[in-house]
Amino acid sequence: MAQFSRTWWGQRFIAALEAFTSPGRLERGRPYATGGRVEQYRVKDGKVSARVRGRVNPYCGVYEEPHYTTRISLKQFTEQEWTRAIAHIAGRADLLIRLLLREMPDSIDEAFGDLGLHLLPQRAVDITTSCSCPDWENPCKHVAAVWYLLAADLDQDPFLLFELRGLPRERLAKELEKSPLGRGLAAELKPREMLPDPVTIFFTEPVDAPADGAIALKEFWAGAHRLPPAAPAPPASSVPALLIKTQGDYPAFWHKDASFLETMEELYARVRTKSPNMR
């Protein structure tokens, strides 16, 4: 499940399906979802459709790769149910602010439960599926594959769940902003255009000034005074390979049984033997 659902709402969606569906039937669709066999996948008007490539099976008389049409839809709420749900959500600031920020509140399904509704599917009758494959079991592996891709889509866009229940996201935002609390929150969340405020520049402006007499070319490049002598180079370290020895015999990156320092000393001894001029 973690491969397809990294958010809590995507995981709850898969868990809700597993509650009334055989997990074994769902697992059969996982290789199809990861193997690129689901084609022409799309969500439109709250309904999911896809074209799934099947497998060649000579034992069943299938000698060419078949293609199956798969459709999934959730039971949509009525207009009256959505009116009650929106009014309930609009009265709760904790839900309203998260939804206006395009985030899914973790208590959203509990809020729907107060009205006797469930945003996530709870029963098999909440989901209608169809597939043109000969498997009469529901879900077949082709439907299960599309379910996993739908869960992955919910990770990216949690408001897809509202659309599957019959409420487009654009209408959801408009309905939430109609309430007094929604108008106030939406006004604060909208980006405000800030115009630049011109200020007086306090930096000194460059001006042309005559030179204080002729300057010799040598003085111009070398300067009027000599540079101080270069600082002497620091003495060489009295401890050879100091940086390596600070790591100790068994540093964190060293996973061998032999001492790290002894191994390095042996390595440097071999290098000096082959290259006498190397120190």
User: pLDDT by residue (tens digit) across 92-106?
Assistant: 888 887 887 777 888
pLDDT at 111 over 80: yes
pTM score: 0.60
Report how far residue 22's alpha carbon sits from residue 48's, in angstroms, rounded to the nearest whole number: 21
What is residue 35's DSSP assignment?
T
Please list, in sequence order, all residues whose beta carbon lies within 8 angstroms of the beta carbon of residue 88, skipping any fewer than 6 positions away: 111, 114, 115
- CA nearest 151: which of 140, 164, 139? 164
Angle at 71 between CA 35 and CA 17, to 5 degrees: 75
The rounded mean pLDDT for the chain is 79
Establish how many alpha carbons lie within 13 A of residue 134's alpha carbon, considering only the half-sphere containing its beta carbon: 7
User: pLDDT by residue (tens digit) across 39-69?
Assistant: 889 988 889 999 998 877 776 666 788 889 9
Report how far residue 174's alpha carbon sits from residue 45's, in angstroms, rounded to the nearest whole number: 18
Answer for the pair 125, 75: CB distance below 8 angstroms, yes or no. Answer: yes
The length of the chain, given as a count of residues: 279
Report how far residue 169's alpha carbon sits from residue 163's, in angstroms, rounded to the nearest whole number: 6
Please list, in sequence order, all residues whose beta carbon lies within 8 angstroms of the beta carbon of residue 96, skipping any fewer than 6 positions away: 89, 90, 176, 179, 181, 182, 185
Higher pLDDT, 21 or 2: 21
pLDDT at 71 over 90: yes
Task: State phi, psi for 68 to the nearest 5 degrees.
Answer: -120, 145
pLDDT confidence tier of residue 72, bands split at 50, 70 and 90: very high
User: pLDDT by residue (tens digit) across 137-166?
Assistant: 888 888 888 988 888 888 888 888 889 999
pLDDT confidence tier of residue 212, bands split at 50, 70 and 90: low
pLDDT confidence tier of residue 2, bands split at 50, 70 and 90: very low
